[in-house]
Amino acid sequence: DTAVSQTPKYLVTQMGNDKSIKCEQNLGHDTMYWYKQDSKKFLKIMFSYNNKELIINETVPNRFSPKSPDKAHLNLHINSLELGDSAVYFCASSGTGNAYEQYFGPGTRLTVT
């Protein structure tokens, strides 16, 4: 069974479009995250959610809106896509606390043309 799954795996779209990426975890974790990995492999946290509540928003543009319908799901909606949004987006989950490992999804490669 896949612990953290994301859909779609690849997403190719044009500038100005709106798109969503879905994430689900079956680990029973309370905390979920979205990360962006750029072309240089630098991984940066975007959002953290705990029990469906937004905890961390790392100065991400308002065009990015995460939504957590329940503790097992954290979706990412992106409005008015820009070329600079092209990256690999990873969802992750973990237990709640200071010393829990994160489990990552396989990533969604977003290409904006």
Distance CA 96, CA 14 (A): 37
Cα–Cα distance for residue pair 19/40, rounded to 1 Å = 23
Return the number of the residue (14 or 97) whose C-beta is nearest another protein.
Answer: 97
Report the residue number, 41 or 84, with the smaller CB distance to another protein. 41
Q: How far is CA 49 from CA 13, 45, 61, 74, 106, in A?
A: 27, 12, 17, 8, 19
Indicate the residue type of 25: Q
69 versus 97: smaller Cβ distance to another protein: 97
Closest distance of CB 106 from another protein, Å? 5
**What is the smallest separation between the CB atom of 16 and another protein, expressed in angstroms?**
28
Which residues contribute to the site for another protein (CB under 8 A)? Answer: 4, 31, 33, 35, 40-45, 48, 50, 55-56, 90, 92, 96-99, 101-107
Q: How far is the CB of 96 from another protein (least distance, A)?
A: 7
Please, which residue, 65 or 102, has the CB nearer to another protein?
A: 102
Tell me the residue length of the chain: 113
Q: How far apart are CA 66 and CA 33, in angstroms?
A: 10
Closest approach, Cβ 111 to another protein, in A, equals: 14
